[in-house]
Amino acid sequence: MRSVTEILQQTDRTLFSFEVLPPLRGKSIEQIYGTIDRLLPFDPAFIEVTTHRSDFVYKEVGNGQYQRVEERLRPGTVAIAYAIRQKYDVPVVPHVICSGYSQQETEYELLDLSFLDLKDLLVLRGDKSKQDARFIPKEGGLRYASELCEQINRFNQGLLLFGEQHELCGERPFSYGVAGYPEKHEEAMSMASDLRALKRKVELGAGYVVTQMFFDNEKYFQFVERCREAGINVPIVPGLKPLGTLNHCTALPRTFRVDFPEELANRLEKCRTNEDVKAVGTEWCIRQCRELKSRDVPCLHFYTMNAATQIEHIMKEV
Ligand code: FAD
């Protein structure tokens, strides 16, 4: 099987891919299979599986008392990635993150992934803890995705954390993509500094970039242009999220620091129900996809977030 980097670097048409989230702790994997079954007819080039750090939550323990416990709301990324590959024989890309992991824990995860021959990764810093105002690495953990790229590169050379050798498994080492932000990462001091951070990740070996969601294609095109000027020459895969609920209209700009273009904002302001938003969001996403495809982007990558039916509809139109 070719690596996802090779697939994206060698394609001469616009591919399709999507991301799934592991189920909430205690829920079954069947919902993910349901999403994949719907989207499989569109021949996904790869499927990504997100990773979620643990966080502190308060659990009721009886008598009106609560206990503060550390909990991973969506565990199981590695197992889910493996299960998907076994069931569908599609390249799968588990996300690996710094957030909430020590370097040793990351190394154990890399060993698991290596034993399972899951060699395509998306390398990320990961979201900050919900209780922190800014990102704080776990003790013994990493600060930036670039440092995680370096850890993976050393692993690929057969070196563990303290310089011990390990036996490489499978036919090839890990290959990976990284995240990019057409509207700048929220913490970056400037677009230029954010691009320097992205370039560093590419110089370390990232074979492609997947972007944060955006709703204005011009922002993506400008981002690609600025990346090329900065010497970032790997495929840049646009990330797409069809709007589907009234909550999306305020939550997505707030959570992902993205702007809606005026025309879209005006149309959303008139929506009164989730169905209204879904109709506008679907039409907008189809427009985005058609234009991106006409400009020969390497792949249309969807953040599914339980919107398989909506994405199925969009893909039929595109
Ligand atoms: P980095 O590349 O480390 O950048 C983080 C910030 O630090 C940026 O502002 C950058 O400019 C700056 N920076 C980088 N290097 C340096 C340096 N050396 N010195 C100074 N500043 C620096 N989150 C999850 O928790 N799980 C997921 O599965 C997940 N999947 C995602 C998938 C995609 C496609 C995208 C776009 C995001 C995803 N995220 C996920 C969210 C992501 O982890 C957050 O946006 C996070 O805040 C930044 O991650 P990053 O990998 O871009 O970080």
Ligand 1 atom 23, closest CA: 126
Ligand 1 atom 33, closest CA: 179
Pocket flag, ligand 1, residue 236 (CB < 6 Å): no
> How far from 47 is each of 15, 88, 164, 169, CA to CA, in Å?
12, 10, 33, 22
Ligand 1 atom nearest residue 186's Cα = 9
Question: Probe ligand 1: pick from 46, 185, 210, 257, max atoms within 8 Å of CB?
Answer: 185
Pocket flag, ligand 1, residue 146 (CB < 6 Å): yes
58 vs 153, residue with greater confidence: 153
pLDDT tens track for 235-249: 999 999 999 999 999
Cβ contact 313:245 at 8 Å: no
Band (pLDDT 50/70/90 cuts) for residue 171 is: confident
Distance 147 CA to ligand 1 centre (A): 11
The candidate with the shortest Cα–Cα distance to 269, out of 254, 280, 258, is 280
Distance 62 CA to ligand 1 centre (A): 39
- Once rounded to an integer, what is the mean pLDDT over residues 15-19? 98
Residue 304 has pLDDT above 90, yes or no: no
- Once rounded to an integer, what is the mean pLDDT over residues 103-125? 97
Rounded to whole angstroms, the Cα distance separating 3 from 156 reads 15
Based on C-alpha coordinates, what's the Rg of the chain? 20
φ, ψ of residue 31 to 5 degrees: the values are -65, -35
Distance 176 CA to ligand 1 centre (A): 14
What local confidence, expressed as pLDDT, does residue 306 receive? Answer: 75
Ligand 1 atom 2, closest CA: 145
Distance 269 CA to ligand 1 centre (A): 31
Residue 310 has pLDDT above 90, yes or no: yes
φ, ψ of residue 183 to 5 degrees: the values are -110, 20
Ligand 1 atom nearest residue 201's Cα = 2
Cβ contact 123:145 at 8 Å: yes
Band (pLDDT 50/70/90 cuts) for residue 120 is: very high
What local confidence, expressed as pLDDT, does residue 305 receive? Answer: 77
pLDDT tens track for 192-211: 999 999 999 999 999 999 99
